[in-house]
Amino acid sequence: MDIFSTLQEDKSRLSASESRIAEIVVNDFEFAVNASIIELAERAEVSPPTVTRFCRRLGCESFSDFKVQLARTAHVGVRYLKPESKSHAPSDVAQDIITKAQNALFLLHRSLDLTAIEAAVAQIARAEMIYAFGSGGNSSMIADELQNRLFRLGLRATSSSDHSMQLMMAAAAKPGDVIIGSSFSGRNAELVRAFALAREGKVRTIALTQTDSPVASAAEIVVPIDLPEGTNIYRPTSTRIAYIATVDILASLVAYAIQPKALTTLRRIKQQLVAHRDGDDDKQLLGD
Amino acid sequence: MDIFSTLQEDKSRLSASESRIAEIVVNDFEFAVNASIIELAERAEVSPPTVTRFCRRLGCESFSDFKVQLARTAHVGVRYLKPESKSHAPSDVAQDIITKAQNALFLLHRSLDLTAIEAAVAQIARAEMIYAFGSGGNSSMIADELQNRLFRLGLRATSSSDHSMQLMMAAAAKPGDVIIGSSFSGRNAELVRAFALAREGKVRTIALTQTDSPVASAAEIVVPIDLPEGTNIYRPTSTRIAYIATVDILASLVAYAIQPKALTTLRRIKQQLVAHRDGDDDKQLLGD
DNA sequence: GGTTCCTGCAAATTATTTTCTTGATAAGTT
DNA sequence: AACTTATCAAGAAAATAATTTGCAGGAACC
């Protein structure tokens, strides 16, 4: 557990003086990690012992322990509390995008539903055939990615971003097959329809989407991905990164679940690639 | 600058005693961030003042400053020095993937070539037509992603993962057009050929790939993405994430470069989407 | 009115840094 | 070649600063 979550959760249990300390820590993180207990106490207009007690209440051993914990999580965690930079200079834009991406991963980690993931992995690992659905540029990439990752494991997988094809495939799928649908917004009505159709035919359905969304309610297993999307319309990235990481987690776990099969297939794909290109370099990746 | 880079670089300037401290810091990071100066000194078999001097040499104000800086970067930075967890438990796998992804972003940020990026952005922003090339599952995703991001800005863009098509498109492209090729390995011979063909016809070429690779030498502008790929064959993710972030940075900068045009196009795409789905929710993303 | 909890003061403890000194190494000099 | 001198690393001890503990006053809440 990190300090910031604890701060959020234990906010009510803090006394007036302690809240004042908390506020400074959240608002001026730079100051807080560099300050001594005395400086922090002065700025919050409390005594040093109060700061120590504050740290203890948050589950830290001591003030220095608190500072270290703060520095550790805040590197990733605190930035989403800060207003984004308004500059369009390349270095700022790059920094901003990378920070947001890291935050997305940080938030993803904290909100991961491992139970749902395990359930999804179990279904995928034993599926006869896997259909990955997603549309609209972002989710279609995720669908392709799912197929890309799963076929390498020796599983039968296909993907489609075409609504009509999705419906037809859902209708054609058999019990024992699995449909994985991705929707960033959770409001892809056609995907909902495909899920409904699939469930009628006893086909397993897995959704990668927002909780409490139409797509989520339509699927049997929901792997929830809930992230605040920034308001800047130019930059929908961070969510995308969280989805990719989730696909990666799913694919890795499936790989472990079906170990021997996956290993052979991967080896064969790799041999094929190496033979096809230059033979002297084994370091290249599987599939560029 | 973070402590770990400094440690790497100043390694030669450290004395014997200081190197012993450095070794402990790198190998047992957990101990180092939690220890007091006395504990650290004892373990390295040096005196406390030597530890203070060590911190100063690394550019820190004091020992506590050192600890804070260490904690800040290490959260992201140190883990790639450590052997990866061998457990296949879902939580460990998830943690591992997310950490690696964050590391990839961290490393990306430190190795970004902003000059190359600016040059690429300038070319893309004024291109008549943009061709995004990439093959093999990973890079083909990046090519699609480039198209996906750029067409939304009102630019003319297409993508292809088909080697033959790439060659034909490269031959058909005109001066004023831009070809962006992605290759994780840098050893995609067909892409090299397409680049050569394009350059004959005065078409601008941009490569997203490893430095000092065949693909890199074939392109006019190289946006280098150099990351150590983990050895685990199941998990090629982290590089992918760095590529996606890079595409995002490029696309965002292009968007800013051509502001008014991009804004109108985005607005029209959004209207189209909202009209097509349910009208009551403006929060949905551009393209799922 | 009693209990509980917050808070600050002052003292005690602990940690950290500074200063000073010693010893080692290397370059220069006779 | 032997001696001198400069430079620097490193520890001891002292000084300083930071942090914590114990205690007591006071406020708020039964």
Dump pLDDT digits (tens) for B130-144: 999 999 888 999 999
The answer to whether A174 and A128 are in contact (CB under 8 A) is yes
- CA distances B142 to A237, B220, B246, B249, Å, are 13, 19, 10, 13
Q: Do A117 and A252 fall within a single domain?
A: yes
Cβ under 8 Å to A: B residues 91-150: 91, 93-95, 97-98, 101-102, 105-106, 108-109, 112, 114, 117-118, 121, 134-141, 144-145, 148
**pLDDT at site A104:** 82
Do B121 and B58 share a domain, yes or no?
no
| CATH at B36 | 1.10.10.10
The gap between B84 CA and C15 C1' (Å) is: 35
Distance B36 CA to C14 C1' (A): 10
Mean pLDDT of B85-108: 79
| pLDDT computed for residue A162 by the predictor | 93
Res B127: pLDDT: 94
In a domain, B220, yes or no: yes
**Shared-domain flag, residues B158 and B241:** yes
Residue-level pLDDT at B94: 84
Q: Does any domain span residue A282? A: no
The percentage of residues in chain B with a pLDDT greater than 90, rounded to a whole number, is 38
Check whether residue A115 and residue A246 sit in a common domain: yes
Strand D nucleotides with an atom less than 7 Å from a protein beta carbon: 8-13, 17-22
CB B144 within 8 A of CB A144: yes
Amino acid at B218: A
The amino acid occupying position A72 is: R
The structure tokens 């917004």 sit at A185
The answer to whether the CB atoms of A105 and B98 lie below 8 A apart is yes
Note the pLDDT of residue A147.
94
Return the sign of the alpha-carbon dihedral for residues A251, A256, A262, A263: positive
Whether residues A140 and A56 fall in one domain? no
Tokens of A217: 């309610």
- Sign of the Cα torsion B70, B75, B79, B82 reads positive
Q: Which of A64-78, A154-168, B253-267, B273-287 has the lowest mean pLDDT?
A: B273-287
A20-35 burial: b if 16+ Cβ within 10 Å, else e? bbbebbeeebeebbbb
pLDDT > 70? residue B286: no
By percentage, how much of chain B surpasses pLDDT 70? 82
Q: Does B74 touch chain A (CB under 8 A)?
A: yes
Residue with tokens 């970004």: B112
Residue range B185-228, pLDDT digits in tens: 888 899 999 999 999 999 999 999 999 999 999 999 999 998 76
Report the pLDDT averaged over residues B31-40: 89
Same domain, A247 and A159: yes
User: B14 CA, D17 C1': separation in Å?
Assistant: 28
CA distance A248 to B93: 10
CA of A50 to C1' of D19 (A): 12
* Domain match, A70 and A199 both: no
Same domain, B116 and B252: yes
Model pLDDT, residue A175: 93
Q: What is the pLDDT of residue B78?
A: 45
Please tell me the predicted confidence (pLDDT) of residue B101: 84
A55 touches chain B (CB under 8 A): no
Domains in chain A, number = 2
Lowest-confidence segment of A210-214, B28-32, B45-49, B281-285 by average pLDDT = B281-285
In this structure, what CATH number is given to the domain that contains residue A155? 3.40.50.10490
Q: Which residues touch strand D (CB under 7 A)?
A: A 36-38, 48-49, 51-52, 55, 61-65; B 15-18, 45-50, 64
A281 assigned to some structural domain: no
What lies within 8 Å, CB to CB, of B100 at 6+ separation is B79, B80, B84, B230, B235, B237, B238
Task: Please identify every stretch of chain A with a pLDDT value under 50, giving residue numbers as ranges.
Answer: 77-83, 231-234, 278-285
How many other CB atoms are found less than 10 A from the CB of residue A233?
17
Pair A13, A72 in one domain? yes
SS3 category, B2? coil
Closest CA to A251 of B145, B237, B80: B237
A137 plus A185 within the same structural domain: yes
Q: What mean pLDDT do residues B113-119 have?
A: 94
* Angle made by CA atoms B127, A139, A217, in degrees to the nearest 5: 155
Residue B172 has pLDDT above 90, yes or no: yes
Examine residue B64 and state whether it is found in any structural domain, yes or no.
yes
Residues of B in contact with A112 (CB under 8 A): 94
Q: How far is CA A176 from the centre of its chain?
A: 28
Q: Number of CB pairs < 8 Å for A and B?
A: 225
Q: Looking at chain B, which residue has its C-alpha nearest residue A94?
A: B249
Separation in Å, CA B169 to CA A241, B156, B162, B179, B262: 30, 14, 10, 9, 25
- Same-domain status, B137 and B244: yes
Domain hosting A47: range is 3-81
Is A263 in a helix, a strand, or coil? helix
Q: Are residues B25 and B142 in the same domain?
A: no
- For residue B214, which amino acid is it? P
CA A171 to chain centre: 30
Q: Is B147 inside any structural domain?
A: yes
Interatomic separation, CA of residue B9 and C1' of nucleotide C23, rounded (Å): 29
User: Residue range B229-236: average pLDDT?
Assistant: 51
Q: Is there a domain that residue A275 lies in?
A: no
Residue B282 has pLDDT above 60, yes or no: no
DSSP H or E segment with residue A222:
strand A221-224
Residue B75 lies in a domain: yes
> Do B105 and A98 count as a contact with CB atoms less than 8 A apart?
yes
Q: Which of residues 163-202 of A touch B (CB under 8 A)?
A: 182-185, 187-189
- Coil/strand/helix, residue B131: strand
Task: Give pLDDT, residue A232.
Answer: 47
pLDDT for B236 equals 65
